[in-house]
Structure 1
Amino acid sequence: MNVMRLATRGARPVILGCRSYQPQSSGNSTQWQRQEPTRDFSTGNVYLDVTIVVGSGIGAASSIPTVLSVAGFTEAGIAAASLGANLMSVSAIYNGGGVAAGGIVAGLQSAGVLGTSASTQAVVALGVSAVTAITGYFF
């Protein structure tokens, strides 16, 4: 669809790619004028931005046991009729009747029973903080 066909849809701004174009009427013709983005990608407070990024990482790392438990990887084993049970069933089907040692299901069950190490929690915290910072910058 070309820009002139978009112009007939009204006086709304049109976004093409990452650039915004506003219709500018002069006489009988409509011109399209490119507008530079004016969006500020931060809250304007550096301390608040850092707190959001660090807090998201700490929150994600501290919620690992809860997430595993809700998914069915409990200290007593894999809970019946849970996501963990479904993953175990699928893993057993694809592995010829048994769950592979060192696989995803075995690793999640181990983390559910024994907990996660400090290094695992640090990796999760850094990963979530990085994703939070990147999405906060671009979106």
Structure 2
Amino acid sequence: MLSTPTFISPALARDLQDCRKTCLNILMAFLALQSMSGSKGLLVATLTLILYTISLHITASAPGASHLGAVIFGILHAIPAVGILAVTSVELAFAAKSPAVAISIIIFCFLPTMIAISQYFRMRYMEAMIDQLPMTVPRDLPLEPA
């Protein structure tokens, strides 16, 4: 079922601007680290994410950007964060020198996220189950308030 898009509120726009600034600062730090380490592949990924984040900032600053749907805008803003996550994971894998250690650290770090996602799906499942229950009124309760 498609619904009409909700437009971006001023508070959400400020939050997304803060998110862009944070992502850009993190990416600049990665760029500094990778320029010292000489990692060419990660350098390309970092520069790509920096360009994307700057482009996203320009798009968000353009007149009429507030008319984009909040969900679409949220997804566009998640891309730099996911990119930072990927670059960090790759750097961790190179630094750990052991795939088992790197995977263990990544799983441990994502424990709160995995718990939150599982709780979300659990709540959605419970809501669906409750919606399927028949709503009956016990015979000893009146249907109308007295």
Q: TM-score, normalised by structure 2?
A: 0.28
TM-score with structure 1 setting the length = 0.29
Structure having the higher Rg: 1
- Which is helix-richer, 1 or 2? 2
More strand by share: 1
